[in-house]
Amino acid sequence: MKGSIAEVVAAAPLYRDLAADEIAELAAGLELRRFAAGEALMMQGADSDGAYVIASGVVDVAARLPGGGEAAIADLGPGDMVGEMALLMRGGRRTATARARGEVEALFTDRRYFEAALHLLRPASLKVLRRLGLTIAERLRAVRARSRALVNAAPDDGLFRPLPGGEAHPPADFKVRAFLPILPCLRDFSAAEIDALAAAARIEQPPRGVALGEEGEAVDAPRLVVRGALLLGQRHGERLCQLDILGPGRFAGVAPVLEGAPAGAAVIAVEDSTVLAFDAARFTALWNGTDRLSLRLLEAVNADLVLSLNTASNHLTRLNAQARVRDLARA
């Protein structure tokens, strides 16, 4: 390995926001592992116990195909990270296999060590958690852009659904604050933390069919669904391609706010709904904070981003499969 562990860490994009003392603190918890050509750093389906930063060599990443064999996903080199989802999700499984193409040296971060650092509110670990969230947000945006390109190329009628509409009903008498603790994303929050989070938001009750935002526009407020459901979709003329349905406990519009980018999808109430709409500046301040509330928000948002990415990736896989069938039919 060329350079010290701290120098390898400093060169990795995931750690680029860290100060020198934070890099040194993080480096102290890393383990240098060496792999021979063909040896697996991780296997698809195995427990997700940690992540690797590649120090030297090349790593091939591939995923199993349903009919057998593997599909190449990426080849990674020095500074790249593999297995980073393990730092976001507890009890997860590896979604791909990573093998050394030749001799490889990699720095291993144990998920338990990372969780302990987060529990102590170490600034370095919080910065890494934020960077992981932004990385997932970037991947989500790229996947949705690829989905739009495929639909634009072959706008099959089966890909579209009618716009939600129908009779709107007056908002019901609904005790929002009493309902918040049972939302899956807020179950680890204390009562005081839920109060602080709710204080940064206003209550909205959009009726069925109302658009809360459009693709390509700036997001005025990230939202948390409390009751009902929001549809994420991409408009193609007068038609709508559904990307996701967000029920209670799901976030909408968070990734664009964190990235400072336009929305990658329209957000439409598919049912009469109740949502918390956060002031974007206050939400960003919470995201960048260093207290327990900020940690809880980071964990909740990142888990939601991972779920959104998985859904978007499955949607893209279906579109690719349909495209291959069309190509074979034309051949």
pLDDT per residue of the chain (331 residues) written in tens, 0 to 9: 676 888 888 888 888 778 888 888 888 888 999 999 999 999 999 988 899 989 999 999 988 876 677 778 889 998 888 988 888 877 678 888 999 999 999 999 999 999 999 999 999 999 999 999 998 998 888 888 888 888 888 777 777 777 776 666 666 677 899 999 999 999 999 999 999 999 999 999 999 989 999 999 999 899 999 999 999 988 887 788 888 999 999 999 999 999 889 998 999 999 999 999 999 899 999 999 999 999 999 999 999 999 998 888 888 877 877 777 666 666 6
Q: Each residue of 160-170: b (16+ CB within 10 Å) or e?
A: beebbeeeeee
Domains annotated on the chain, with CATH:
5-117 (2.60.120.10), 127-330 (2.60.120.10)
Distances (CA, A) of 91 to 49, 86, 88, 111: 8, 8, 10, 10
CA atoms of 331 and 318, how far apart (whole Å): 20
Both tokens assigned to 272: 């009469």
Amino acid letter, residue 66: P
Both tokens assigned to 297: 């928000």
Q: Each residue of 239-276: b (16+ CB within 10 Å) or e?
A: bbbbbbebebbbbbbbbbbbeeeebbbbbbbbbbbbbb
Classify 73 as helix, strand or coil.
Answer: strand
Instruction: Please count the other Cβ atoms lying within 10 Å of the Cβ belonging to residue 117.
Output: 20
Largest CA distance in the chain: 66
**CA 308, 311, 313, 319 torsion-angle sign:** negative
